[in-house]
């Protein structure tokens, strides 16, 4: 509960960003008559499940009627849903874009229909920022950077194979998705501080446990002396653990694992010593999203960028946090 309150009150206006005014408020729009169309990415990870639950639960308590669709990680499904929300004349559309590119046409259709759009969790690369009112979510570059900085700080302790180099394999998120692009960038920027760190192989596991397991199995066959796995989310890290154990090695010891999210399963593996470090990515975006939706429907100004507050966990911190972890 404390965490929810903290998140709900953590609207942070990033740097010099400008507030966006709404267009004309809808005459009928009041906080108890808002209909929101929400086009979710899918159900690919524990993070996504927690995110969906947060959105569905807080829509109810906020008195917002939610039309929810699951795109099964396919952009064309998300576009179809957004078009259907436009046809149904919802008051506001929110969505978490599966990939960054290719949104201008459908966003323009929403704008022409005078339906405000809120981006949540993931960004689009549209040059025309008037196509959406605000973007609520994490800074994925910072998340990747925190992961890389931890590895740099680990120094020679991360050279598990004691051969003078720190050989990393990377399990990337969905190709073209903002968190995959940005986390890679942040990590690579940070690792420059230690020239011993190299990324020997990098492949997408599509943010799923099964994807992480399969890619790790192939890395274990093609790469010698892997020291570290950098997984773009916990689910892929958990899949990697299965592959490492099946190869007769000890995850967390013979191969260190860094991941991002801090969902319960990831934190449990961290507390058990099978993961070494997790950077948190907060999925509980519901309260902030409903608050922003009410404001944009009412034609009030909102910040162009709203960041969520996040932390990091080592194994001791995971043990302490687990009993009260909500997701």
The only residue of 38, 47, 150, 230 in contact with ligand AHR, by rule CB under 6 A: 47
In whole angstroms, how close is the CB of 136 to ligand AHR at the nearest point? 12
Q: Please say whether the beta carbons of 167 and 254 come within 8 A.
A: no
Q: 281, 293, 297, 318: which one contacts ligand AHR (CB under 6 A)?
A: 281
Q: Least CB distance from residue 42 to ligand AHR, whole Å?
A: 8
**At its nearest, how many Å lie between ligand AHR and the CB of residue 46?**
7
Contacting range for ligand AHR; rule: CB under 6 A; set: 40-48, 81-89, 243-251, 289-297: 40-48
233 part of the interface to ligand AHR, by CB under 6 A: yes
Judged by CB under 6 A, which of 37, 44, 166, 279 binds ligand AHR?
Answer: 44
What residue has token string 């064309």?
Answer: 76
Q: Which of 22, 38, 39, 45 binds ligand AHR (CB under 6 A)?
A: 45
**CA distances (Å), origin 101, targets 37, 124, 127, 137, 279:** 21, 6, 11, 17, 26
Kindly tell me which of 122 and 167 has the beta carbon lying closer to ligand AHR. 122
| Residue 10 or 31 with smaller CB distance to ligand AHR | 10
How far apart CA 244 and CA 216 sit, in angstroms, is 8
Phi, psi of 219, rounded to the nearest 5 degrees: -60, -40
Of the listed pieces 42-50, 64-72, 218-226, 237-245, which binds ligand AHR according to CB under 6 A? 42-50
By CB under 6 A, the count of residues binding ligand AHR is 13
Instruction: Select 159 or 235, whichever has its Cβ closest to ligand AHR.
Output: 235
- By CB under 6 A, which span of 41-49, 86-94, 160-168, 271-279 interacts with ligand AHR? 41-49
Give the chain as a 3 state SS string. CHHHHHHHCCCEECCCCCEECCCCCCCCCCCCCCEEEEEECCCCCHHHHHHHHHHHHHHHHHCCEEEEEECCCCHHHHHHHHHHHHHCCCCEEEECCCCCCCCHHHHHHHHHCCCCEEEECCCCCCCCHHHCCEEEECCHHHHHHHHHHHHHHHHHHHCCCCCCCEEEEEEECCCCCHHHHHHHHHHHHHHCCCCCEEEEEEEECCCCHHHHHHHHHHHHHHCCCCCEEEECCHHHHHHHHHHHHHCCCCECCCEEEEEEECCHHHHHHHHCCCCCEEEECCCCCHHHHHHHHHHHHCCCCEECEEECCCCEECHHHHHHHHHHCCC
Please, what is the minimum distance in Å from the beta carbon of residue 55 to ligand AHR? 13
Rounded to whole angstroms, the Cα distance separating 149 from 279 reads 11
The C-alpha atoms of residue 180 and residue 190 are separated, in whole angstroms, by: 16
Q: Which is nearer to ligand AHR, 42 or 303 (CB)?
A: 42
Q: Does 209 bind ligand AHR (CB under 6 A)?
A: no
The least distance separating ligand AHR from the CB of residue 52, rounded to whole angstroms, comes to 11
Q: Is 179 in the site for ligand AHR (CB under 6 A)?
A: yes
Looking at the Cβ atoms of 274 and 294, the one nearer to ligand AHR is 274
Under rule CB under 6 A, residue 122 binds ligand AHR: yes
* Contact call for residue 145 and ligand AHR (CB under 6 A): no
Residue 121 interacting with ligand AHR (CB under 6 A):
yes
Of these, 103, 150, 207, 230, which contacts ligand AHR (CB under 6 A)?
207
98 touching ligand AHR, by CB under 6 A: no
261 touches ligand AHR by CB under 6 A: yes
- By the criterion CB under 6 A, which residues form the site for ligand AHR? 44-45, 47-48, 121-122, 179, 207, 233, 235, 260-261, 281
């Amino acid at each position: 509960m404390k965490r929810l309150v903290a998140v709900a009150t953590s609207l942070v206006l990033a740097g010099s960003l400008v507030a966006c005014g709404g267009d004309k408020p809808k005459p009928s729009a009041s906080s108890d008559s808002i209909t929101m169309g929400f086009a979710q990415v899918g159900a690919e990870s524990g993070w996504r499940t927690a995110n969906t639950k947060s959105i569905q639960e807080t829509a109810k308590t906020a008195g917002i009627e939610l039309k929810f669709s699951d795109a099964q990680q396919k952009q064309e499904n998300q576009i179809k849903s957004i078009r259907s929300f436009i046809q149904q004349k919802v008051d506001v559309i929110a969505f978490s874009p599966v990939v960054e590119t290719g949104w201008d046409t459908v966003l323009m259709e929403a704008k022409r229909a005078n339906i405000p759009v809120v981006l949540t969790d993931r960004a689009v690369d549209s040059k025309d920022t008037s196509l959406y009112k605000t973007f609520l979510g994490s800074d994925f570059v910072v998340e990747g950077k925190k992961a890389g900085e931890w590895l740099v700080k680990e120094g020679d302790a991360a050279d598990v194979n004691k051969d003078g180099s720190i050989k990393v394999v990377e399990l990337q998120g969905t190709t073209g998705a903002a968190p995959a692009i940005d986390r890679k960038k942040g990590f690579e920027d940070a690792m420059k501080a230690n020239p011993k760190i190299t990324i020997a192989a990098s492949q997408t596991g599509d943010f799923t446990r099964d994807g992480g397991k399969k890619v790790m199995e192939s890395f274990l066959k093609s790469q010698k002396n892997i020291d570290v796995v950098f997984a773009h989310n916990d689910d892929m890290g958990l899949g990697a653990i299965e592959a490492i154990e099946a190869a007769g090695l000890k995850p967390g010891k013979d191969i260190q694992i860094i991941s991002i999210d801090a969902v319960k399963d990831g934190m449990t593996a961290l507390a058990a010593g099978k993961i070494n470090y997790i950077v948190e990515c907060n999925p509980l975006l519901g309260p902030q999203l409903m608050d922003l939706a009410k404001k944009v429907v009412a034609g009030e100004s909102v910040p162009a960028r709203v960041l969520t507050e996040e932390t990091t966990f080592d194994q001791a911190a995971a043990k302490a946090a687990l009993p009260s972890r909500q997701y």
